[in-house]
Amino acid sequence: MDIKLTRKQRERLQREQQILDTANQLLGSQGYLGLTMDKIAEEMEYSKGTIYQHFNCKEEIMARLSIRYIDNLQELFKRALTLAGNARERMSAMFFVYALFWLMRPTDFNNTQLLKTASLREKLSDESRESLSAAERQIQEMLAKIAYDAIEAGDLKSTAMSPEEIVLGLWATTYGGLLILTAAPDLKVSNPYYSLFQTASIFLDGLPWHPLSTEFAYQDVYHRVCKELFVEEIASLPELQQERLKRFFELES
């Protein structure tokens, strides 16, 4: 049964979303140090007290933004799961989604990364920390389910790693790689974007998770994901980001 909100409750929720959107814009333009409750209030033309009625500190706002980011990422992951094919094809589709979402939402990615530092996370309430952890666990469980499907299908047999450990390895590789690419260092690599996902592919081959990359054209999977599942999202990217996405998977125009 749906609960009908009062006008006052609807207005409060709407104001919270406005606070989150304003804070996200400030994070994008001025970074963590430039984000303050005063600036949020000034941008919204509210008193600072009004902002504090909704959030105790800017870190609580960042936590809510991160949860919203993870929830949106999860929705794209769910769409990727509808891709026809074997378990490793679906896992490859997850790589694509992660790179796509990083390009779509760079500010949110950086914000979520900041909240992984102990100094910021300890400023959150117990409720916010648990909500953030719960959102992250849902992503981990979704990815681990793909590995369990591979085991059931016989594509992933004897391995010293559990599905959860495999997901941790993939997450560490892709997340860490994206952090490096965010910093844009002068790497002596012809295509660091593609190298990141080659590394993940080699990791899966080593388990071994079949079909191996030497046996299956996973490049075709990325083309299918582009054309079948995320046409609008890709079209919404700025031209520079579209070019970066092509470099990730060596996609042709």
Q: What is the pLDDT at residue 1?
A: 47
Q: 46-60, 175-189, 202-216, 236-250 — which is least confidently predicted?
A: 175-189
Name the strand (E) or helix (H) holding 166. helix 163-183
183-207, pLDDT tens digit by residue?
776 778 888 888 988 999 999 999 9
Instruction: Check pLDDT > 90 for residue 157.
Output: no
Co-location of 121 and 186 in the same domain: yes
**Secondary structure letter of residue 159 according to DSSP:** -
Which pLDDT band holds residue 51 (cuts at 50, 70, 90)?
A: very high
**CATH number of the domain enclosing 36:** 1.10.10.60
Co-location of 121 and 192 in the same domain: yes
Co-location of 43 and 94 in the same domain: no
Q: Which residues constitute the domain of residue 185?
A: 66-249
Co-location of 100 and 225 in the same domain: yes
Q: What is the mean pLDDT of the chain?
A: 91
pTM: 0.88
Contact 175, 183 (CB under 8 A): no
Q: What is the pLDDT at residue 139?
A: 94
Outline where DSSP puts E strands in 82-207. Answer: none
Determine if residue 125 is left, alpha or beta; phi over 0 gives left, psi from -120 to 50 gives alpha, anything else beta: beta
Co-location of 76 and 150 in the same domain: yes
Q: What's the mean pLDDT in 12-16?
A: 92
Is residue 60 one of the residues assigned to a domain?
no
Which pLDDT band holds residue 219 (cuts at 50, 70, 90)?
A: confident
**Which residue type does 218 have?**
Y
Is residue 104 one of the residues assigned to a domain?
yes
Q: How far is CA 179 from CA 30, 173, 202, in A?
A: 19, 10, 20
Neighbouring C-beta atoms of residue 131, cutoff 10 Å: 17
Neighbouring C-beta atoms of residue 73, cutoff 10 Å: 22
Q: What's the mean pLDDT in 127-154?
A: 95
Q: What's the mean pLDDT in 13-34?
A: 93
72-120, pLDDT tens digit by residue?
999 999 999 999 999 999 999 999 999 999 999 998 998 888 888 888 8
**CATH number of the domain enclosing 105:** 1.10.357
**In the chain, how many domains are there?**
2
Q: What is the pLDDT at residue 228?
A: 93
Co-location of 109 and 198 in the same domain: yes
Name the strand (E) or helix (H) holding 93. helix 87-104
Co-location of 14 and 79 in the same domain: no
Residue 47: exposure state from Cβ atoms within 10 A (0-12, 13-18, ≥19): exposed
SS3 137: helix
Q: What is the pLDDT at residue 130?
A: 95
Strand partners, 209: 156
Is residue 18 one of the residues assigned to a domain?
yes
159-189, pLDDT tens digit by residue?
789 999 999 999 999 998 898 888 776 778 8
Q: What's the mean pLDDT in 135-145?
A: 95
Contact 202, 195 (CB under 8 A): no
Q: What is the pLDDT at residue 153?
A: 96
- Cis check for the bond before 238: say yes or no (omega within 30 of 0): no
Selection from 226, 216, 215 nearest residue 248 by Cα: 226
